[in-house]
Structure 1
Amino acid sequence: MSSKKIVVIGGSAAGPKAAARSKRLDADAEVVLLQKAPELSMASCGYPYYIGGNFDERNALLATPTGVVRDEGFFAAAKGVSARVNTEVTAIDRHNKTVSCTDVLTGESCSVAYDKLVLCTGATPRRTPIPGIDLEGVRSLSEMRDADKLRELVDSGKVKDAVIVGGGLIGIEVCEALSESGMNVNVVEMLSQLLMFLDWEIAKLVEKHVASKGVTVHTDNGVAEFLGENGKLTGVKLNDGSVVPCELAVVAIGVTPNAKLAAEAGLEIGGFGGVAVDDFMRTSDPDIYAAGDCVEITQRITGKKTYAPYGDLANLEARVVADNIARGDKHKFPGTVNSGICKVFDLSAGATGFSEQRAKAEGYDVITATNASPDKPGFMGAKLLVSKMVADAATGRILGFQCVGPGEVNRQLAEAAMAVMNGNTIWEVGMADLPYAPPFSLAIDHFITTAHILDNKMAGQMTGISNAEVKERLDAGEKPFILDVRAPNEFEEMRLNVGENLIPLGKLRNALDQLPQNKDAEIITFCKISMRGYEAQRVLEANGWTNVKVMEGGIMGWPFKVEM
């Protein structure tokens, strides 16, 4: 009996995983990995950190944890996989079950037969037809050579001014890398905020932090034209007519799936332009599988198809592919809840599931809670976290969670991602048995506390109002009674300066005469994080006031300017 021939196209994340696991599960299989680029198994998510000088050894992006570079020799010796770099697959012949290849260095052509074919062709940075986009100095970041060039520019010290076009994950990571190298950086985002997976008021906290690092952020603005002289970039003209001088512009406005090869072979393409696959990661041809950034997968909450080009998902999808090729189509890939995280200078920012905006767009009636509180006790070096939980108002099911801050954001998002995937309610999470010790968390973990806040709101024990709504109403000329229940020294250190009235919580019960005596008057309470604000609401309601709201997140969640 002849051995099974497995051909994998693409050598970045999903491809090497599918190839290596296929060989591990079927030692007799003949596994061939074809890669157009000269490198294999690149840790592309690490490119911004290499550019920024977090590490200097380029091959660290290509190496195993023990430092062995994953090249053709490594795959042959350690994995039993025949890997070929600089090899572009130009066509798939589904009838004869072969792929046509071209050596990108010599131009020589060849044909490779397969029994099972795996497409891991990845994605390409989106480049809109903006005038001047082909000028020298306008770059993207998708391949090792892009990272090499940007690192070369950083090390040269010749670039003084840079523009990042796009405020998503890659844009923010590259912004940090270039800014910390000493460049003057501008970020241009066509939409109203950075990091669109966050709700506006949470994203504005990130923007505020980025600006504090000397970066100029332009939201609600796009690039009209790249300006240049003698073929070289000299500046970027924005939609509002302003011009930002620069010698470097990095375009990071998302990616599009590389599905051309699949489409030309007659395979089904999905609504997002990616290769359509079923739960077993099979394409419309039962002998062809696909994984990674070229495919569309299931959104776990809605059951609809979505596009989620993330390295962790690519590896998980590839594992399912290899299992199904070796063992028969028994293993399903359940999809994604769209979890993501990034480092933003001294902050981390991330989300899982749906934002409030996205949940409403999907037709959910939602209720939310914002929580600003420490990640661990003060005596253990506490750092701030600001989180927002989104739940189904009817069932209490957690639909999403966002978190930003200098604290342990990743822990919170990991907890939340499991809750969203499991369909947990706020009441289940509110009684979750999580590991606790002072070096790691508060006795009641930040994530659980957020669920408790939402529980209070759903039970009618707390009425909240977002800081964005407070600001909007004040700007519109409304005059609710703003009650700050912090201590005087806190007020002197930092205040909103919106006409707030300072009555410390400990004195509130003896100062009720200083409040509006109309018990229907609107009163908005807050403190540093609004725990005392909530307690103030309970005190006032117990004394007959009927229209008291807590500004969720307090002054630490206020994304606008404060007076110091």
Structure 2
Amino acid sequence: MSSSSAPLKIVVIGGSAAGPKAAARARRLDEHASITLIQKDPDLSMASCGYPYYIGGVFDDRNQLICTPAGIVRDPNFFEKAKRIEALVLTEAVAIDRAAKTVTCRHLPSGETRVIPYDRLVIATGATPLFPQVPGTDLAGIHTLHSLGDADQLRAIRDQGQVRRAVVVGGGLIGFEVCEALHLAGIQITVIEKTDCILPFLDPDLARLVANHVRANGADIITGNGVAAFLGEHGRLTAVKLDNGTELPCELAVVAVGVRPNIALAQAAGLTIGEQGGIAVDEYMRTSDPDIYAAGDCVECTSLITGRKVRAPYGDIANLQGRVIGRNLIQPETATFPGITHTGICKIFDYTVGITGLSARQARALDFDIETATVAGLDIPGYMHGKLLISLMVAERGSGRVLGFQCIGPGDASKRVATVAMAIRGGLTVEDLGNADLPYAPPYSLALDHVIVSAHVLENKLRGLMHGVSAAEVKQRVDSGADCFIIDTRSPQEFEEMRLGIGETLIPQGALRGRLNELPEDKDREIILYCKISLRGYESAAILQAHGWRNVRVMEGGVMAWPYPREK
């Protein structure tokens, strides 16, 4: 409780995630504080990550996006009665006077202004969707998915059933969640990504596998091509023109190319803005003004891996930061938010795509000396109807510290990503993770969980027991005509059912010792081995090394991680 005799005056700007969390936490710690919540939108505490599933028809009652676990809608009446928090909706904060310690706000329907005094202030103004600076953006039929109002509009379009073709601009998480939602409504979807690869937080081979899965489900993807213009007739969208001149007919376009922190209010108040474009805060989530805190999409945080400032526009992070602020509002400097590992997950058709930490590409760009391991396998035993997981783990060479993990596939990737996220948070090494005491029972895991197997493969590579090569590197060798000898160590039946068509020779693992005479006489010639997931490839590589071949490599992940066309 506040030590002051007069009730503490708290004002919170922003009513989505961080703001309400801070306000509610402060109320639990101080029953007598005066708390005012200012929200520009008509809704409060929106579960924005649920928007695509509402649009896609997974559920129909939009109030479920603004309800408590008990099913009570979080409207101003709820905040007044349950929390004793004054929630002002459709109200925009227009100025902060730090000297007078007041916030001026305007009620949008009426235009009336009000000046609210504060002892402590919270800025949770979120972010604004980025939009291509191209002709035609004012046409009807172009949307973003940022607010609940946006979700309502897209759900109405879905329910009306009049749109046949749509374009999603942006190949990130939100773009593909929207892609699936609209696809469920029977709309023909094309995703446009300006860079060469979708899902830029994934390394390229895994991103290609996800792209293959999306295309197999009937949606199209165009990469390496941006939007040059939106075209229309009579004020309505009719097509999207790409940088290469291609025109894609469509009645709907959803732009999902990222967000920019909403810092105008903080900037006008003279608060410090960080190098990444977000409000600068310390470990207590305080801004450069000790009586003003900030959280959510509008701030910068610290990477627990690199120590650098980053932006993390995620709902869970906003809630964590809001909770820290709520305590510090009442009990200053008693709660800290140390930073993030950039952990995220999403559903893309039947695939889960999960990440934590750094990708290999990011780690190399930051000058880490790394080793990686790509592993394919099941989440639970085959006799329990296990499903495929493909992952890539990243570790620092000298220390063995785990730096990152990506996991995709129809199997349960979520708990694997969560496990590695905590390993990264704890600064664990590959060896630590390879000896982790994780829960095992056939309905839930293999005896050696996918994460542990990934750590074992990576440990083998770090110790020089296995020399791996990625699918992309194998493809590059084949395309360039490099002098390498490729062996498929699967069974003849597997080979007949599906092969890669890269000039491979079939020598099943069980027959390898008896067919060594078929291998290159030059013991320094590169030999690449693989199987379905490359366990047999690894064991076969050990056999060849024992018989004197010195340049033996295993294609990591095997056939299941091959993202290029195959022969059937």
1:173 shift after superposition: 0.3
Q: Deviations over 1:183-226 (max 9, x none)?
A: 11000000111111111111111011011111111011111111
- Per-residue CA deviations over 1:432-491 (Å, capped at 9, x if unaligned) read 111111110000110010010011111111100000000011111214111001011111
1:287 is matched with which residue?
Answer: 291
From 492, 505, 512, give the equivalent of 1:508.
512
- Per the TM alignment, residue 329 of structure 1 is displaced from its structure 2 partner at its CA by 1.1
Q: How many angstroms apart in 2 are the aligned matches of 1:493 and 1:246?
A: 39
* Equivalent residue in structure 2 for 1:471, among 467, 470, 475: 475
Deviation at 1:136, TM superposition (A): 0.7
Q: Does 1:28 align with 2:69?
A: no
What amino acid does structure 2 have at the position aligned with 1:393? R
CA distance, structure 2, for counterparts of residue 18 and residue 65 of structure 1: 18
SS at structure 2 position matched to 1:38: coil
Q: Choose the corresponding residue for 2:415, options 408, 411, 418.
A: 411
Is the Cα–Cα contact under 8 Å of residues 457 and 464 in structure 1 kept in the other structure? yes
Is 1:276 matched up with 2:280? yes
The question of 1:193 aligning with 2:194 is answered: no
Letter in 2 for 1:150: L
Q: Is 1:15 aligned to residue 6 of structure 2?
A: no
**1:241-390 alignment runs, 5 A limit:** 241-390=245-394
Q: Which amino acid aligns with 2:388?
A: L
User: Are residues 1:59 and 2:63 paired?
Assistant: yes
Q: Is the 8 A contact 1:31 1:82 kept in 2?
A: yes
Gaps of 5+ in 2: none
CA deviation string 1:511-556 (max 9, x = no partner): 1122112222211000000000000101111111111100000000
Over 2 Å off, 4+ runs: none
C-alpha distance after superposition, 1:47-89 (max 9, x if no partner): 0010001100110101112211010111111112111111111
C-alpha distance in structure 2 between counterparts of 1:9 and 1:21, whole Å: 15
2:184 partner letter: E
**Which residue matches 2:239?**
235
- Is 1:183 the counterpart of 2:183? The answer is no
TM-score w.r.t. the length of structure 1 is 0.99
Matched letter for residue 205 of structure 2: E
- Does the 8 A contact of 2:192 with 2:221 survive in 1? yes
2:464 aligned partner: 460
SS of aligned partner of 1:563: coil
CA contact (8 A) 2:132 2:227 kept: no
Structure 1 residue 90, shift from structure 2 partner: 0.4
**1:128 Cα deviation from its structure 2 partner:** 2.5
- 1:145 alignment counterpart: 149
Q: Say which SS state the counterpart of residue 534 (structure 1) adopts.
A: helix
Give distance in 2, aligned partners of 1:489 and 1:26: 70
Deviations 1:169-188 (A, max 9, x none): 10010011111210110000
Offset at residue 43 of structure 1 (A): 0.4
Task: Name the SS of the counterpart of 1:511 in structure 2.
Answer: helix
Deviation at 1:133, TM superposition (A): 1.2
Query: CA RMSD, aligned part only?
Result: 0.8
The answer on 1:220 being equivalent to 2:224 is: yes
Task: Verify: 1:106 aligned to 2:115, yes or no.
Answer: no
The answer to whether the 8 A contact 1:198-1:350 is kept is no
- The alignment status of 1:434 with 2:438, answered yes or no, reads yes
Q: Assess if the C-alpha contact under 8 Å between 1:167 and 1:187 holds in 2.
A: yes
**CA separation in 1, counterparts of 2:463 and 2:279?**
45
Report what 2:161 is aligned to.
157
**SS at 2:53 equivalent:** helix
The code of the aligned residue for 2:17 comes to A
CA distance in 2 between counterparts of 1:221 and 1:178 reads 22
The structure 1 residue matched to 2:424, chosen from 399, 412, 420, is 420
In 2, the alpha carbon distance for the partners of 1:69 and 1:437 equals 40
Alpha-carbon contact 2:284-2:336 (below 8 Å) kept = yes
1:112-123 matches, within 5 Å, as 112-123=116-127
State the TM-score, normalizing by the size of structure 2: 0.98
Q: Which amino acid aligns with 2:475?
A: K
Question: Aligned residue pairs: how many?
Answer: 564
> Are the aligned partners of 1:91 and 1:101 in contact in 2 as well (CA < 8 Å)?
yes
Matching residue's letter, 1:559: P
SS at match of 1:523: strand
How far, CA to CA, are the matches of 1:112 and 1:544 in structure 2?
A: 80
